[in-house]
Amino acid sequence: MKLHRRSLVTLAGLALSTLVTLAPATGQAQGTVLRVVPHSNLAILDPIWTTAYMSRNHGYMIYDTLFGTDENAKIRPQMVDTWTVSGDKRLWTFKLRKGLEFHDGKPVTGEDVIASLQRWGKRDAMGSALMQFVQRMDSPTPDTFRIFLGEACGFVLEALGKPSSNVPFIMPKRIADTDAFKQIEEHIGSGPYVFKKDEFKPGDKAVYLKNAKYVPRAEPPSGTAGGKQVFVDRVEWNLALRDAQAQVNALKKGEIDIIEALGFDFYENAKTDADIQLPKYSNLGLQYMARFNHLHKPFDNAKVRAAAIAAMTQEPFLRAQVGVKELYKTCPSMFICNTPYGSTAGSDIQAKSNMRKAQDLLKASGYDGTPIVIMKPTDLASIQKLPDVAAQLLRQAGFKVDLQAMDWQTLVGRRAKKDAPDKGGWHMFLTAWNVFDVWSPIANPTADTRGEKSGWFGWASDDKLPELRNQFMRATDEGVKKKLADQIHARMFEIGTHAPLGEYSQPMAARKNISGFFITNGNIYWNLKKN
């Protein structure tokens, strides 16, 4: 089934609003606490500094957004009350709704918004694209902010309502003024939960309390839009329970309420368990990818990257990591199959490759035998088998490989380093993206090829791609945009930005007494009920 762009944006919103809600307080502690095993440890608390989904999910707990994306693929106001656009589409004026207050008791102002957007725009692919059009921003009154564009563009609201990493969360100005390439040290938002910093223990637990002063919107919840109603007093993330079997055992005993990422090996049994439900929270799923470090040898050479892409055909990764055929599919598109910009242009080097082809390409590339440092996460079940498959395939192609194991949060921190691989850096890591983070040439961070100025790790450099993306941003005709997307897609394969490794659905498991799940692209803990 092919989706129109409006449908995609909607699904994106759905994906980010519905993962969890709880039951009304009953006076008993157990009845007001939602206990969750998230998909990974939480160590980085700055959702702008990293694209890691744990940091994004943490962000949705404590921050709010200007706009959300509803279940009908429409951008809806969230912190914004009303807005106007000038006739030439170059001046956007926004008024904030009443009752917005940070957790420290201070009101949310236009100055806070501007500082937050400026910081986000330096890290996020779509944010940096928007900032190319922004001449300036100001706040004529405390509850108003304005965006002045040098020329009109067609994705202002889509950017401000972006539902996944990096999300344009609104922070107090003093915090948002932090250098975009340094992590924030305070964690104060205006969202539905307050972060209990004094109870936070990386590798053990994270705790969030209901924000009693939060004023939800009057509309019913829909995607990342609508009223963010909270029906529990406390949400606890169990960061220590990393063994998949132990997670299932704890769920069965009622010691936890939700497993964000059920181990694929337990999927079939969970389907028939009377105490467990497998809520559907996504229509399109996720995409695996292998990202190269373009700064250092040998992946500073496009011919070497091509050989690696040719070696990494998708089926071995999907079969080893997911295993359940109904949960995965190969897809030659970096922009996701069956979406408006899904493309096969340029993909033959991987989709129609074989190991002999990869070996020939590597021999012709000038590869000097440098060992490829692949970072392997030991505590993220949804991707931890991918590096082993990559190592095996690359070795078969003729690469030397240095597979280095570490926990996911260490990997997330290390991938930000630009040091040489033999001095603590890296050559490759493998990860997963939500569809709505990679489905368009604007949103997809791997399409940002501004070298060391790129907002995402890997720092690909190419002069042609920025020109094509700029044309795409200015295009208004969908046919023209599709042709440009094909050209961008072909160029990404040509220069080897990364290797897409197929698409999959990540099952989530919950106790039967948890209700209110709906389509999302993340794990968000409001609007659920614990009965």
Q: What is the rounded average pLDDT of the residues 335-357?
A: 95
Q: Is the distance from CB of 358 to CB of 310 less than 8 angstroms? A: yes
Question: Residue 65: is its pLDDT beyond 80?
Answer: yes
Residue 246 resides in a domain: no
Choice between 26 and 136, residue whose per-residue pLDDT is larger: 136
State whether 424 and 462 are in the same domain: yes
255-307 per-position pLDDT tens digit: 999 999 999 999 999 999 999 999 988 777 899 999 999 999 999 999 999 99
CA distance 350 to 530: 46
- Residue 513 and residue 371 in one domain: no
Number of domains in the chain: 2
Q: Are residues 299 and 322 in the same domain?
A: yes
Specify if 312 maps to a domain.
yes
Distance CA 468, CA 9 (A): 22
State the Cα angle at 228 between 28 and 63, rounded to 5°.
Answer: 100
Residues 211 and 297 in one domain: no
Beta strands in 361-453 (DSSP E): 372-377, 401-406, 428-434
Looking at per-residue pLDDT, the higher value among 311 and 454 belongs to 311
Torsions phi, psi for 446 (to 5 deg) = -75, -15
List pLDDT tens digits, range 388-416.
Answer: 999 999 999 999 999 999 999 999 999 99
Q: Are residues 452 and 511 in the same domain?
A: no
pLDDT at 21 over 60: no
Q: Tokens for 316?
A: 């071995």
Per-residue pLDDT reduced to its tens digit, 360-378: 999 999 999 999 999 999 9
What would the pLDDT profile of 110-159 be if each residue is shown by its tens digit? 999 999 999 999 999 999 999 999 999 999 999 999 999 999 998 999 99
Helix axes 355-365, 386-397, angle to 10 degrees: 70
What are the backbone angles phi and psi of residue 509, rounded to the nearest 5°? -125, 145
Task: Map residue 306 onto helix, strand or coil.
Answer: helix
| pLDDT, position 220 | 85
Instruction: Report yes or no on 273 lying in a domain.
Output: no
Regarding pTM above 0.75, the answer is yes
The predicted pLDDT at position 364 comes to 98
DSSP secondary structure, 11-54, as one string: HHHHHHH-SEE-PPP-SSGGGGEEEEE-SS------TTT---HH
Assess whether pLDDT exceeds 50 at residue 19.
no
Task: Supply the CATH number for residue 185's domain.
Answer: 3.40.190.10
Do residues 11 and 110 both lie within one domain? yes
Contact predicate 148/135, CB 8 Å: yes
What is the C-alpha to C-alpha distance for residues 294 and 492, in angstroms, rounded to an integer?
13
Q: Where does the pLDDT of residue 521 fall: very low under 50, low under 70, confident under 90, or very high at 90 and above? A: low
Beta carbons of 211 and 191 less than 8 angstroms apart: yes
* Helices of type H across 18-76: 53-62
Between strands 91-96 and 80-85, the pairing is: antiparallel
Strands (E) across 168-285 are located at 169-170, 193-195, 205-210, 234-238, 258-259, 276-277
Give the pLDDT of residue 20: 37
Question: Helix 302-311 to helix 478-495 angle, to the nearest 10 degrees?
Answer: 100
Q: Indicate if 322 and 217 belong to the same structural domain.
A: no
In the DSSP assignment, the letter for residue 262 is -
Residue 23 lies in a domain: yes
Average pLDDT over residues 5-34: 44
What's the pLDDT score for residue 18?
Answer: 36
pLDDT band at 2 (very low <50, low <70, confident <90, very high): very low
Asked if residue 167 is part of any domain, the answer here is yes
CATH number where 311 lies: 3.10.105.10
Same domain, 136 and 157: yes
Q: What is the mean pLDDT of the chain?
A: 92
Q: CA 339, CA 5: separation in Å to the nearest integer?
A: 8
Using the predicted structure, report yes or no on whether residue 105 has a pLDDT greater than 90.
yes
CA dist 30 to 34, 65, 207, 256, 452, Å?
Answer: 8, 30, 15, 11, 49
- The answer to the question of residue 248 being in a domain is no
* DSSP tag of 147: E
pLDDT level of residue 5 (50, 70, 90 thresholds): very low
Range of the domain at 449: 286-504
| The pLDDT value given to residue 73 | 67
Tokens encoding 244: 């998949």
List the Cα angle 59/91/176 in 5-degree steps: 25
Tell which wins on pLDDT, 21 or 480. 480
Say whether both 336 and 455 belong to one domain.
yes
Is pLDDT above 60 for 460? Answer: yes
Q: What is the predicted pLDDT for the residue at 222?
A: 81
pLDDT at res. 114 = 98
Residue 6 in this model has a pLDDT that exceeds 80: no
- pLDDT at position 154 is 81
Tokens of 525: 């803990």
Say which residue the tokens 């990764």 belong to: 317
Q: Do 310 and 214 share a domain, yes or no?
A: no
- Alpha-carbon distance of 452 to 454, in angstroms, equals 5
Asked if 15 and 282 count as a contact pair (C-beta separation under 8 A), the reply is: yes
451 contacts: CB under 8 Å, gap ≥ 6: 294, 459, 460, 461
For 93, the enclosing helix (H) or strand (E) is: strand 91-96
Question: CA-CA distances (angstroms) from residue 432 to 112, 304, 315, 328, 419?
Answer: 32, 23, 15, 13, 24
Regarding whether 484 and 512 lie in a shared domain, the answer is no
Residue 257 lies in a domain: no
Q: Please check whether residue 255 lies inside any domain of the structure.
A: no
- Identify whether residues 203 and 339 lie together within a single domain: no
CA 224 centroid distance within chain = 14
